[in-house]
Amino acid sequence: MSKQISVIALTFGFIFLIIIFGCDNKASETTQNSKSNFNNNIERKVDSVLGLMHLNEKIGQLVQYSGKWNATGPSSSKNDQHKLNKLKKGEVGSMLNVVSVASVRETQRIVMEHSRLKIPLIFGYDVIHGYKTMFPIPLGETASWDLDIIKASAAIAAKESAASGVNWTFAPMIDVSRDARWGRVMEGAGEDPYLNTVVGVARIKGFQGDDLSQTNTIAACAKHFAGYGFAEAGRDYNTVNIGEYELHNTILPPFKAAAKAGVATFMNAFNDIDGIPATGHKVLQRDILKREWDWNGFVVSDWGSIGEMIAHGYAEDKRHATEIAMNAGSDMDMESYAYEAHLESLLKENKVTIHQIDDAVKRVLRLKFQLGLFDDPFKYCNEQREMDHVYTEEHLAISREVAKKSIVLLKNENKLLPISKDVKSIAVIGSLAHDKDSPLGNWRAKATYNSAVSLLEGVKNAIGENTKIHYAKGVDLTIPTLEAGANQFLYPLKFNTTDDSGIAEAVEVAKKSEVVLLAIGENAYQTGEGRSQTNIGFLGLQNDLLEAIYKVNKNIVVVLMNGRPMALSRVSEITPAILECWHLGSESGNAIADVLFGDYNPSGKLPVSFPHHVGQEPLYYNQKNTGRPYSNKHVTFSSYRDAPKSALYPFGFGLSYTVFKYDNLNFDKTEIDRNGRIKVSVEVSNKGDRDGEEVVQLYIRDLVGSLVRPIKELKGFEKIMLKSGETKTVSFTIDAKILQFYTASKKWEVEPGDFEIFVGGNSKTTLKSRITVIE
């Protein structure tokens, strides 16, 4: 019976479209029309639908509900019944957290069967680093510095999501993040504006593909607009205090690039910026995003952020918050129930305008047409695709490839790594070594609990029967407070600070092994939203475990599993080898084993600076010099008396099992005008006995400007493969796009003067030369 109803609803929907669009065949001839003509066709359709809508239906398109409710059975709460009634009236534009083909079809059916105009829903979900096949957390994946595989992982996430009924993800997060205490640092691309820009665009292209109407693509969302990564003290949701120039030069560039790349949606942020909540920030949303950047997608609030302007002390009540948000350009209300309650009365009182409401509705309708939902509201509801395209062997193989490229070798004294597969005995120690859940990371969408390949499993898969593998847990990191698989995100963690009973066994295991693999770090729920920490070291009894192992076996390879930069001073001091493995996703253990045993030569580079001590945070490479830069001869300089000023492991750093040498930095000219170009080349040689990949990085320094400029700024990179003994010449072009910044004149421009150009394997490179820009 339900199938018959769906067919009837679909038939009615097609008749509805024919009436509106007059059987315009041009709309389907997208391959024969230019992009502008295709957009014009969509705009005409959007206007036609808008002209048929009543005010309540318009407002409804700006409402998004969470779908954690029973769409098919009797309502269990007043709120559920409210949502159901609104769906039937066509007064909901989008649902989030409705996943699976069956759930999406049923929810869409309610709208298509009951509502007057039968405008289909968009279904959103937090697909952050995979849907069911998990890839490395975004911070870890960024460490690959490989834009092709980053794009590929997003494309697979999109394919699995779309096959499961979802057509909109709340990703990528492109907040520049400089503070390791902030829990959501794991969700982005680190501390650098340029790296966030190119990685963000790669993810957008992976999610959205070349055509949003295809059933293997989904709409992306650039978030959080803006400044969220600068939360004071690294505390989530906290206030942000930045100046206009910092906003334009550091925070906005990734968002501007996302808009230019055609990202479908933006999400505003929880924080206030200099006293104005981002959700109610007119300059950001209306003036910059929609007017200056001429972007035509829609802005969705973060969860409840419209209503949260009351707690900020910026709105008197939810009605006032609605007025502020609509006037500021926030188009869709996620779970604040503000727009549905107050937009109509505010319109009658002329506190918002019908033009603002119509503009917001048009932006939402535009995406629905781009997704092809008006042609077929159930196009994402195919059970066979859901069976065939989710969590496949092919996707797992690519997950392993991405994971191994995301691993960063931080230290390798005496060439302890790679470990020979002929080794007689290996100790694998640490609760994280046998953990099949933490490698999935936080924000794991629909990943199955405990489904990752653990480090211990990966080692066993890689090693033959002649090698004895001894495992010992050592210490539990946390005290279990919930059943396995429960939503840990909603509850605080309790760390084990008393039970050290397993350390003795770990010591005995270490004594009888040639090499120790010590897995320490953070579990999956120590980072993510609401997971800020003042301590970025090793919590629980992990330090005790490390010290005990070190006393009996110095051949320790520390396998770090974490979602943020960690304070590694003691670890770096006493252990010969450190492998940064992040939370690598479904194939974590196999990927780590690939690197440990030399089947893959590590090529990752840090997208964030690792401090000596948490007291250095926020820490980032592209600092300003100050009037009293570092000096080891004087006390009164800008540094610390109890710790170094610089990072323990700097941005862009990462070792290899081979050695790369940089020589012959050359320029085809050293003087240009503001619109000129200079070609820079450098020779990179592999001096070791293994083939390997190197990330060649280009940095600049503007020596004198109308504003104080950073000591270094990443402006380009190229990842190359070099065979043992091979030399390649790598070239970059320096032009106005690279040299410009948002100046004291409040515009983007190149200022004349001298620039230093650096090329090397990390942000500490000293290979440099100088160019001059003349008037």
**Token pair of 375, please?**
């042609």
DSSP 312-347: HTS-SSHHHHHHHHHHHT--BEES---HHHHHHHHH
Helix 455-462 and helix 588-596: axis angle, to 10°? 50
Instruction: Specify whether the CB–CB gap between 404 and 449 falls below 8 A.
Output: no
Q: How many CB atoms lie within 10 A of CB 57?
A: 20
| Cα–Cα distance measured from residue 646 to residue 185, given in angstroms and rounded to the nearest whole number | 20
| Cα–Cα distance measured from residue 360 to residue 331, given in angstroms and rounded to the nearest whole number | 5
**Among 278, 186, 266, 192, residue whose Cα is nearest residue 228:** 278
**How do beta strands 678-686 and 515-521 pair?**
unpaired
Q: Determine which helix (DSSP H) or strand (DSSP E) holds 652, and give its type and residue range.
A: none
Active site residue 388: no
| Cα–Cα distance measured from residue 201 to residue 262, given in angstroms and rounded to the nearest whole number | 9
Q: How far is CA 727 from CA 660, 661, 718, in A?
A: 9, 9, 15
Instruction: Specify whether the CB–CB gap between 529 and 183 falls below 8 A.
Output: yes
First to last CA, the chain: 76
Instruction: Specify whether the CB–CB gap between 271 and 373 falls below 8 A.
Output: no
Catalytic residue among 146, 175, 272, 302: 302
| Cα–Cα distance measured from residue 172 to residue 523, given in angstroms and rounded to the nearest whole number | 22
Question: What is the sign, positive or negative, of the torsion defined by CA atoms of 527, 530, 534, 538?
Answer: negative
**Residue 248 gets which letter from DSSP?**
I
DSSP-derived 3-state class of residue 53: coil
| Cα–Cα distance measured from residue 220 to residue 510, given in angstroms and rounded to the nearest whole number | 47
Q: How many residues does the chain have?
A: 775
Q: Residues with catalytic annotation?
A: 302
